[in-house]
Amino acid sequence: MPETTRTQGFTTRAARVGEPIARVGSAAPLADPIYQTTVWSFDDVAAVDDWYEGRSSDTFLYYRNGNPNTVALERAVAELEGAQAGVAAASGMAAIAGALLAVAQAGDHVVADRNVYGGAVVLLRTELARLGIETTLVEATDLAAVEAALRPNTRVLHVESLSNPLLRCPDLPALAAIARRARAVFSVDNTFASPALLRPVELGADVVTHSLAKYLGGHSTAVGGVAVGAPELIAKARDRLTRVGGTIGAMDAWLSVQGIKTLGLRMRAHAVNGLAVARALEQRADITRVYYPGLSSHPDDTVARQLFRQGFGGMLSFDVGSSAAARAFLGAIGRAGIPFSPSLADVRTTVSYPARTSHRALSPAERQAIGVTDGLIRLSVGIEEPSDILADLDRALSAAKSGVV
């Protein structure tokens, strides 16, 4: 992007990402083409040598090593996050794995928030453990507990800017300072917030990851992940991802860039609707608790208000009190107009059930310890009219309460 874009608003910069690489004569396509090829041809061996030895920055070799669509995606997310470099991956989990393995090796130690996505917990304590990397899970909103968990061999402190599914909001600047003193890399999964609402690099994060299937893509049409940060760290992450084959396809990269172009507009609507729905649900007698960082009842409300100046996003959770009530609600919600779908961040409102989806791999005791109860429903608030979203929720809650499922 031109240097002048640095002074432009976020929505403007997002709309202009993915500047076309291809030209036809004196003209360029407004939308970058999809480079649906697995391999590139060369004029001679010298050109191949140039690629392998880093003397050629404008050519490509093989899809596992990247193509123009993945480069456009990497540059777009890095620019919007305020980072120097980025690398695309096959999924959000691949991006996290690549970032962690860029730093940690056998004998090293990782400290991670106990509230992170269940799949990340499994990665840390199962797959990384098999490689000789030990993990301590800790309550990241408790700074003293984080300090106490650090060891001389701690290489990474990993958290989510807004946790899945209870929207815990750790103090990122304070955690960045703790990681810096420990000479550990501060890793932040920013999927729930997106750079439209929060840019962790500006708060001290060394590496920021995203699941592209969520807010960046925004339409449930593409899967992938991305990690952004300093060039040296990202180069190491790229090496790890290339070696294990954690490659994103050209179509997924292209679709993600198209989604990013409307990110500013979408996140504005998600945030407005999320707050309206959270406030309304908090007034209902048939809901025992609502988790949304924009509510004064949220345990991290003070920190959230300091960090989130553009809204709190479209994710919230609410507790209906029991497994039976949750199952009744989920049995009714589809007919009321909102899909029960174990993902999030589509333009359309969806619901999920963390105890049986995202956090299924955790034991009942582990889920209970972090507040993922059997009555907890996660709601991804879309961009529809908030009155329509609330009407659909009311129909499902009323049907569940009366036993009509």
For residue 257, the Cα-to-chain-centroid distance in whole angstroms is 15
Q: Do the strands 185-189 and 207-211 form a parallel or antiparallel pair, or are they unpaired?
A: parallel
The burial class, CB within 10 Å (0-12 / 13-18 / 19+), for 356 is middle
Which residues does residue 27 pair with via DSSP β-bridges, in sequence order? Answer: 24
For residue 236, indicate whether it is catalytic: no
User: For tokens 């990474």, what's the residue?
Assistant: 156
Q: Say how many CA atoms lie within 13 Å of 79 toward its Cβ.
A: 28
Q: How far is 223 from 211, CA to CA, in rounded Å? A: 8
* Candidates 32, 108, 189, 206; catalytic one: 189
For residue 189, indicate whether it is catalytic: yes
Residue 233 has a CB neighbour count (10 Å cut-off) of 22
* Candidates 117, 215, 291, 292; catalytic one: 117
* Candidates 16, 50, 64, 388; catalytic one: 64
In this structure, what DSSP letter does residue 270 have? H
For residue 346, the Cα-to-chain-centroid distance in whole angstroms is 13
Q: How far is 298 from 292, CA to CA, in rounded Å? A: 6
Which residues does residue 110 pair with via DSSP β-bridges, in sequence order? Answer: 135, 156
The burial class, CB within 10 Å (0-12 / 13-18 / 19+), for 24 is exposed
Q: Residues near 106 by Cβ (< 8 Å), separated by ≥ 6?
A: 131, 132, 133
Q: What is the largest CA-CA distance in the chain?
A: 74
* Candidates 155, 168, 214, 289; catalytic one: 214
Q: Do the strands 85-89 and 154-160 form a parallel or antiparallel pair, or are they unpaired?
A: unpaired
For residue 130, indicate whether it is catalytic: no
Q: How far is CA 342 from CA 253, 330, 353, 365, in A?
A: 22, 12, 7, 22
In this structure, what DSSP letter does residue 42 have? -
Residue 301 has a CB neighbour count (10 Å cut-off) of 16
For residue 35, indicate whether it is catalytic: no
Q: What is the Cα Rg of the chain in Å?
A: 22
Structure-token pair, residue 264: 């500013």
Catalytic residue annotation: 64, 117, 189, 214
